[in-house]
Structure 1
Amino acid sequence: MIFFEKTDSPSCRSCWAGRFCTLCTAALIKNGAVQEPDRSICRSLRHAQEKQIEDLLYIKEYYPEILEQMERMYFQANDIRSALSMPTSRNNKTSPHEVQGVLPA
């Protein structure tokens, strides 16, 4: 609960990269207490997000087929996850043999 209080501070809420933040709770624990995020860590995380966005824009402009392939792979992975989590009559679990048709050849 304290972690959410710290990351719900005005500076975190107003940060453009807030929705992409990967700051781990463990990184905020110092001497047994949750601390405010260090501004240098926040700068590094924002920089990493900027770089990822730049990379995606570059790929989109010069190699759009890569993004299309990534999207297909994403949907395939979701299809596989859905197939693996579908319950069956035996122990409410799907066996690997039952999802063979989901995997690409």
Structure 2
Amino acid sequence: MPLRFLLAAILMCACGHGAWAEGLDAPAGALSCSGCHPASANVQTPAPGIVGRNADDLVASLLAFKNGKTPATVMDRVAKGFTDDEIRAIASWYAARKD
């Protein structure tokens, strides 16, 4: 059994650019966004894409949801779960992505 774990760890290190590895540097909470928003700029979903968008625009949108200035079905509750610093970190991370 330990050999299997060792081999799996080696394989994961060798495949550093796999889909699973893309989120390793993500700030806390960022990966949960892809439950509704597309994880790639090339995918269309009912929720708007956030990959590659301007970080300041994303922060403004999230703060507007958090403060109740923008009506929402879910995003207002999601945004309230993050501090302003976490919102800025998540927005910066998504803005920097190019996929």
TM-score (norm 1): 0.26
TM-score normalised per structure 2: 0.27
Normalized per residue, the structure richer in helix is 1
Q: Which has the higher contact order (CA 8 A, sep 6+)?
A: 2
